[in-house]
Structure 1
């Protein structure tokens, strides 16, 4: 089995040296870049399996690099970890919007990084791995991000009104809704957040939904996640059943026509999450009692009419 390749871009030489040694103990090869421009050159020469970026670097910052990678189809699916000493909400929120994994440079940097690296690369951690401590600032505490108690649904749609509609309907029922506006951003967020279900538009600015479905179903972290597709595509004003069959064949749980029928989507969502099983990583099962009714009583009455 070929060794995984990790690109580490940070201008802190002592940190990158220690981090590279730790990664090699895990069985991964590493490439080190002292700045953003050099990291771009490495990416053009050989495509890594994981990219670890500092926020502030000469040449190009880590978050700017994330945006560039998301726009390039060659690199968009690459998982990215942002390793930074910043704890401000703007930085953390920007990481979330880009679908990057945020890790704070603190005393427990490696304890946070190691399981994430192993999960993203699907490699077995070496319990005996040692190595020098990672240099880190000690004057700031990590920010704990609130996590909703209910199930999590990722909505991928470039139409903000659609995203807000789902957020309103589901969020009011204690279901955590996370949103992505591009397919690649949605792919990254799915790997990071591990949602209980995914709802994606078919047509988006950076590509069609069948490509995103294929990527999600091929990845070991998301291949069992229930996935629903929204589409406004028709043929002669009628439903495109050929497209629907294709999407179902790729692994979609159901295909729904825009504008969304929230009653039908709610029923399908409840059934799929109820039947989903925990994966090899031991993720919890969302039981039916954890999914409240998603529609207001007025909508439920209308749906039954």
Structure 2
């Protein structure tokens, strides 16, 4: 079977890494490329002519849905299967997908099982299932050695190497015995002030709460995806990005959408307060705020009852 190429276009690096690794695991005949903005997705599709395109609706430098419509209406690209990824239930997007015969996949816990079915049905219909090798009996004859290119050691790119590590960690995690100890509640502090973060860490740990602290907004977003959190405390003004950008990413991502976010800032500004609450923040507090006030908000917004 000839190799098939899938283009994933999404500005969420963590979701991209997950999809790339998962996709490579289902068949050695699948090659994966990716784009992190709409214009790159369109250019890559036009040049590479992939066998399937999966595009997020909300992307930098353009709208993913518009890119899908351009592909569907292009004389030489219109036969490429298109999968539209979206984190929101939107009847308009679903109707636009129907008009161009694109598949609509919600960003939820079922995103990979749904994508896997689409990939297999569109690209791997004629591929024989992979037969898992079993250990041969002690006296069984060994298989003939590989020769030529098959025996050569493969040169992995940095991305392939990192993806291989991700898959290995997933496999190894399946052999870990389940912990009998109850998991501690945990909170993530996203704030570029190490002194403030250190103070909160000591306070939370005295209550039996595990603390993660990120000094940068984007790193905080990635940390939020990786950890099992009961709440996030988010500073509004940081050196790399503003808090409203991080808050928007957190609320757009299905993994972090339901985590309560308490925004803390030194600005006393009612317009700013309305803005972050409309974006989905659970609470808005002004610095310096007392520990009792913050802890009260935590108890109100989460199940912590220490």
TM-score relative to the length of structure 1: 0.48
| Greater Rg over alpha carbons, structure | 2
TM-score relative to the length of structure 2: 0.48
